[in-house]
Amino acid sequence: MLEPQRTNLIDQSEYLGAWTDAGTTSTLSSTTNPSGSNQSYVIAASTSNTNALRYNLTFSASTDYSYSVFLKAGTSEEVRMQIYDGNTFQRLAVNPLNDFEVVDQSGINSYSIQNYGSGWYRVVMNFTTTASAGSGYLQIYPDRTGNLNNVEAWGAQLEAGSYVTSYIPTYGTSVTRAYETLYNISNLYQNDSQTIFLDLNYDDYDTSNFWTSLQVGTGLNDWFFFGKYQNSIRTYIKSNNVVVYDNTAFVGFSEPQRIKILLKYDSNGAKTFLNGSLIIDQSYLGGFPIPAFDRLTIQSYFNEKTLIKTQVNQILVFPTALTNAECEQLTTI
């Protein structure tokens, strides 16, 4: 999966002993965590169900965030993750002893529970801050039942964005992971027939186009791109600085939206499939001397490695043109 640029705003994502104990005890454990190292923390309530581990920080107003923590069952039947943005509280509570079933939530936009094996689950809450957000904090309540039980925790992350991305470890300062692209993949796209498939989640469809392009070098004389163009899907081919294929099919996007898009080409023409249907089928204009493409690029603008607001779930490249039936099956959601 290709991911956008994100920053883990928590500067101690694994050393939970640096967080503020508000009636909790945090004990270093040698349990193997999801990264494979032998380190996590057992967090326990000391006096009541209001005991919580806290991390102070400043939120931006009216901003989407995703807060996630890796948790492993201890003795607690209700563990709560909560944020206070300086104006309001939002929360998500789970029961680790019942496969992390959600038992309470308030104010959040969405959540996800991801099983990482060996008893570890990544619990995620996605939320939007209020217009008056400012100084606030994150919290982990180890036991909301009042029985002074515990839970094991590791790998906390807070990132600006409407969905969670892969874990970014921090050790004393926030860390930014650069956005990811595919480019400069030599000799992979030099066939006279090809199929390229993408499974995407559009997050901000109305402010950005999204292209998948084959190119020779960094110029635009030999260029083959397909993807989202405003509210349409467009396929465009230029060979030796001559446009030999240009076709657009109106789709109408909503936000957020998952799509499966596929382009196949051979000496007869190019076809574009979207969500199980053939939407563009056209022969070339005056023949098609196929260039020896040397790179596949995923980007939001022509020939630039720019930030994309799209989650790429899967990319498949076949060194041949699949049959129409295979394309329909592969792109069906």
- To the nearest whole number, what is the mean pLDDT of the chain? 83
Residue 70 is assigned to a structural domain of this protein: yes
State whether 26 and 169 are in the same domain: yes
Per-residue pLDDT, 35: 93
How many domains, the chain? 2
State whether 167 and 200 are in the same domain: no
Say whether pLDDT at 37 is over 80: yes
Residue 261 is assigned to a structural domain of this protein: yes
Confidence band of 2 (pLDDT split at 50, 70, 90): low
Residue numbers of the domain that contains 297: 194-331
**pLDDT tens for each residue of 202-239:** 654 444 566 666 555 555 556 666 666 666 777 777 77
State whether 169 and 230 are in the same domain: no
Per the CB < 8 A criterion, the answer to whether 57 and 10 are in contact is: yes
Residue 182 is assigned to a structural domain of this protein: no
Say whether pLDDT at 64 is over 80: yes
Tokens of 185: 């993949």
- Nearest to 176, CA basis, from 190, 161, 162, 188: 161
Residue 185 is assigned to a structural domain of this protein: no
State whether 211 and 105 are in the same domain: no
**pLDDT tens for each residue of 83-111:** 999 999 999 999 999 999 999 999 999 99
CATH number for the domain including 327?
A: 2.60.120.200
Per the CB < 8 A criterion, the answer to whether 11 and 173 are in contact is: yes
Say whether pLDDT at 308 is over 60: no
Task: Answer with the residue of higher pLDDT: 253 or 322.
Answer: 322
Mean pLDDT for 51-66 is: 97
Mean pLDDT for 107-133 is: 96
Instruction: Pick the last residue of a domain from 122, 146, 177.
Output: 177
State whether 119 and 245 are in the same domain: no
Instruction: Pick the last residue of a domain from 177, 209, 230.
Output: 177
DSSP 21-57: EESEEEEEEEEE-TTSSEEEEEEEESSSTT-EEEEEE
State whether 10 and 138 are in the same domain: yes
Say whether pLDDT at 254 is over 90: no
Residue 1 is assigned to a structural domain of this protein: no
State whether 31 and 114 are in the same domain: yes
- C-alpha 246, offset from chain centre: 31
Question: Distance between CA 98 and CA 41 in Å, rounded?
Answer: 21
**pLDDT tens for each residue of 149-188:** 999 999 999 999 988 989 999 999 999 987 665 554 444 5
Per-residue pLDDT, 295: 63
Residue 184 is assigned to a structural domain of this protein: no
Per-residue pLDDT, 181: 57
State whether 252 and 157 are in the same domain: no
Per-residue pLDDT, 303: 47
State whether 318 and 219 are in the same domain: yes
State whether 12 and 85 are in the same domain: yes
Residue 186 is assigned to a structural domain of this protein: no
Mean pLDDT for 235-256 is: 71
State whether 16 and 108 are in the same domain: yes
Confidence band of 3 (pLDDT split at 50, 70, 90): confident
Question: Distance between CA 39 and CA 20 in Å, rounded?
Answer: 19
Say whether pLDDT at 312 is over 60: yes
Residue 247 is assigned to a structural domain of this protein: yes
Say whether pLDDT at 1 is over 60: no
Question: Distance between CA 303 and CA 313 in Å, rounded?
Answer: 22
Per-residue pLDDT, 222: 60
CATH number for the domain including 125?
A: 2.60.120.260
State whether 222 and 144 are in the same domain: no
Instruction: Pick the last residue of a domain from 117, 143, 177.
Output: 177
Q: For CA atoms 168, 313, 153, 52, give the dihedral sign.
A: positive
Per-residue pLDDT, 306: 47
Write down the pTM of the prediction.
0.64
